[in-house]
Chain A
Amino acid sequence: MPDESYPDDLRYHPEHDWARVEGEEAVLGITWYAQDSLGELVHFEAPEVGMTVSKDGPYAEVESVKAVSDVIAPLSGEVLEVNEKAVDEPEAINADPYGDGWLVRIRLSDAAEADGLLDAEAYRAQVAEQ
């Protein structure tokens, strides 16, 4: 397991999801805190490519041995790509939540939504209170 970290270049949703905005697109995943709380992940129920995800709504599930958890979309858009590595080896989400363990890439429907997300400092403060 990696050490706890929340990279400065990401935006965060309070439900422990992150987004890396890249122009009209964004890469989404779950935070270090989320994967640590869930424990060793053994299943990633990915959305279909082409599906629309809505900010604050569930778009996928991750499961540990003991429990299942919805993954909440930090931003809205259309799924362009699913990380097949996270499907085949869900432990990659634990090992590298911001790198190899990313979940989906979306085309943003409203780039301005990102302004409503937390920056790393604000998210770190939220996690520190939990």
Chain B
Amino acid sequence: MDATLRRTPLYERHVAAGARLVPFAGWEMPVQYEGVIPEHLAVRSDAGAFDVSHMGQLHVDGPASGPFLQSMLSNDLERIGDGEAQYTLLTNEDGGIVDDLIVYRMSAGQFLLVVNAGNRRTVYDWLKEPEARGTEVRDASDEYALVAVQGPRSLERLGLAEAPAFTHGMGEVGGIEVMVCRTGYTGETGVELLCPGDEAAALWDAVRERGVKPCGLGARDTLRLEVCYPLHGQDLTSETDAISAGLGWACGLETEFTGAEALRRLKADGPERKLVAFVMEERAIPRHGMTIEGGGEVTSGTHSPSLDVGIGMGYVPAARAVPETELVVDVRGRSRLARIVKKPIYKKEP
């Protein structure tokens, strides 16, 4: 394995558990333990744990930090109060997506940003350069570990009380004090637990002892795609804008932030193409980068373990971006039929 790859504080635990490790965004990460499918299904029916310590954490503090972030991030930060969190985008002047992230508000002058592993440096630079007086941006990623515990039985297994989604607070799991974030990337109830790196192994062991199945990045990808959570670097890039990506809901277009003007114009004019979700009608598995006939492209594709069928997301001309529309995906030279569906692709049974 490449010696320059970074390892999380849980690396030894993954090796001991027999995980298959792969390079991901500069990190050596577990892609699977037992297998993608059993791990995926455990999260849908019970609970699974993911080491997501590769993700970045930036502290943005100071009396001017709120207005500063409001001027940089797409969503309206005033919609959330202390102890709440918000999905938001860092956009460029064209409305292109530099990263998608979650901002946690501790207080009016204290924010935590959890950003994608591969964009940690970019986001830091993006915020540090225009850092306003009365604001301090600090990359604290190396101090923390992050463990996501997701699934309908996750809270019960961890002994945590229910709480609304997109809230956070301090809590305790297995005697370890953690920041309990009611957020995730699976479409299931669950938490993301943030703790100091040197306590990560003890936290992981405590989570495992409660019968939570260890899951790799393979299942994380199939889970998020079934519920149509976009992945930066595939579905979202600095070349794709928030409106075309269907993320207008994460943009406070009445506020002023970098790219707001471009996004308002895009919304008024209507985007040329839109990010849609689709299900294969014929046996085939769509993959990132495949062509969709008539001017489209698959940005994410996989086999859905819940539905046992090929699923994907991709950009298609706006006129065709209507549920039930048939698409033809070029699967390595073979034309295979797919059908656009309403998001999410996988809906939990009521």
User: Using Cβ atoms and an 8 Å threshold, which residues of chain B touch A63?
Assistant: 285, 303
Q: Please tell me if B71 contacts chain A, counting CB pairs below 8 Å.
A: no
Which chain B positions have C-beta within 8 A of A66?
31, 36, 218, 302
> Beyond A65-B218, A65-B305, is A40–B35 a contact (Cβ under 8 Å)?
yes
Closest A residue to B303 using CB positions = A42
Residues of B within 8 A of A64 (CB): 36
**Contacting residue for A43 out of B20, B218, B283, CB 8 A:** B283
Residue B65 at the A interface, CB < 8 A?
no
A47 at the B interface (CB under 8 A)? no
A68 surroundings in chain B (CB, below 8 A):
285, 287, 332
B283 x A65 contact (CB < 8 A): no
Q: Does B180 contact A (CB under 8 A)?
A: no
Task: Report whether B35 and A39 are in contact in the complex, using a CB–CB cutoff of 8 Å.
Answer: yes
Q: How far is the CB of A101 from chain B (nearest CB, A)?
A: 16
Interface positions, chain A 76-130, Cβ under 8 Å from B, are: 87
A43, B37: Cβ atoms closer than 8 Å: no
What distance in Å separates the Cβ of B146 from its nearest Cβ neighbour in chain A? 23
B-chain residues with CB within 8 Å of residue A42 when the two chains form the complex:
37, 285, 303
Which residues of chain B have C-beta atoms less than 8 A from A39's C-beta? 20, 32, 35-36, 218
A12-53 contacts to B (CB < 8 Å)? 39-40, 42-43, 45
Most chain-B CB neighbours within 10 Å: which of A43, A45, A63, A66? A66
Query: CB distance A65 to B287 under 8 Å?
Result: no
B194 surroundings in chain A (CB, below 8 A): none
Mark B258-288 against chain A: 1 for CB-CB distance below 8 A, else 0: 0000000000000000000000000111010
Is B222 among interface residues, defined by CB-CB distance under 8 A?
yes
Q: How many A-B residue pairs have CB under 8 A?
A: 37
B284 near A43 with CB under 8 A, answer yes
Interface of B is mostly: mixed
Given the complex of chains A and B, what is the CA–CA distance between A87 and B37 in angstroms?
Answer: 18
Question: With the chains together, A68 CA to B285 CA distance in Å?
Answer: 9
Q: Quick one: given A63-B303, A65-B218, are A43 and B36 in contact (CB under 8 Å)?
A: no
Please report the C-alpha to C-alpha distance between residue A45 and residue B332 in the assembled complex, in whole angstroms: 11
Tell me the B114-159 residues at the A interface (CB within 8 Å).
Answer: none
> What CA separation (Å) do A61 and B284 show in the bound complex?
11
> Chain A residues near B31 (CB, 8 Å)?
66
Residue of B20, B284, B302, B334 near A65 (CB, 8 A) is B302
The interface bits of chain B over 34-45 (1 if a CB of A lies within 8 angstroms of the residue's CB, else 0) are 011100000000
How many Å from the CB of B308 to the closest CB on chain A? 8
Closest B residue to A46 by beta carbon equals B283
* Chain B residues in 8 Å Cβ range of A43: 283-285, 303, 310
Q: Nearest Cβ distance between residue B28 and chain A, in whole angstroms?
A: 16
Nearest CB in chain A: distance from B216 CB, A? 10
Residues of B within 8 A of A (CB): 20, 31-32, 35-37, 218, 222, 283-285, 287, 302-303, 305, 310, 332, 334
Given contacts A43-B303, A66-B31, A68-B287, 8 further A-B contacts (CB under 8 A): A40-B35, A40-B37, A43-B310, A63-B285, A63-B303, A65-B36, A65-B218, A87-B283
Q: Can you give 18 A-B contacts (C-beta < 8 A)? A: A39-B32, A39-B35, A39-B36, A39-B218, A42-B285, A42-B303, A43-B284, A43-B310, A45-B334, A65-B218, A65-B222, A65-B302, A65-B303, A66-B36, A66-B218, A66-B302, A68-B285, A68-B332
